[in-house]
């Protein structure tokens, strides 16, 4: 036996409305157990990587990894970009990632919407482990890799 959520009258559960007040007895909201995102999902797993990388954590293609394995990588909506981000909020030539020794930097390439590091619009920034890089709707975490 269930109770009407509006008036509290008993119901046998076979009707869609309460016999006492006429309120709907069908539930519109379902309960669920929330899923807790673990920090290791992006942070600790990336610490085992041999070199630096970006991991998409918000926006299209969540979880995709881009390894920074060359001196220079172009980032943009152009299909020929080294890191192709297919979204209209990304400029065709949006940014450039530069690897020099153990240091990775990001430089905006004159994009319309800007390149952000940790929520700040930058022309150029050196990336540190855990920094968040935003290019259009793509929010990516920078992971320095082993020993960085």
Is the pLDDT at 142 greater than 60? The verdict is yes
pLDDT tens, position by position, 105-119: 999 999 999 999 999
Residue 148: C-alpha distances to residues 10, 61, 126 (Å): 64, 26, 13
pTM of this structure: 0.68
Tokens for 76, please give them: 């943009």
**pLDDT value of position 41:** 47
Confidence check: pLDDT of 104 > 60: yes
Cα distance between residue 35 and residue 52, in whole Å: 28
How far is CA 30 from each of CA 5, 21, 145, rounded to the nearest angstrom?
15, 23, 41
Which residue shows structure tokens 């970009």?
81
């Amino acid at each position: 036996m269930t109770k009407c959520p509006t008036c509290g009258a008993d119901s046998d559960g076979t009707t869609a409305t309460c016999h006492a007040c006429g309120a709907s007895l069908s539930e519109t909201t379902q309960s669920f157990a929330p899923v807790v995102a673990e920090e290791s999902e992006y942070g600790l797993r990336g610490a085992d990587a041999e070199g630096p990388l970006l991991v998409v954590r918000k926006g299209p293609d969540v979880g995709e990894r881009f390894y920074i394995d060359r001196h220079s990588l172009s980032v943009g909506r152009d299909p020929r970009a080294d890191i192709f981000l297919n979204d209209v909020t990304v400029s065709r030539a949006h940014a450039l990632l530069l690897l020099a020794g153990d240091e990775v930097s990001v430089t905006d390439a004159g994009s319309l919407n800007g390149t952000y590091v940790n929520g700040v619009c930058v022309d150029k920034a050196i990336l540190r482990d855990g920094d968040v890089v935003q290019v259009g709707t793509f929010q990516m975490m920078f992971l320095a890799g082993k020993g960085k």
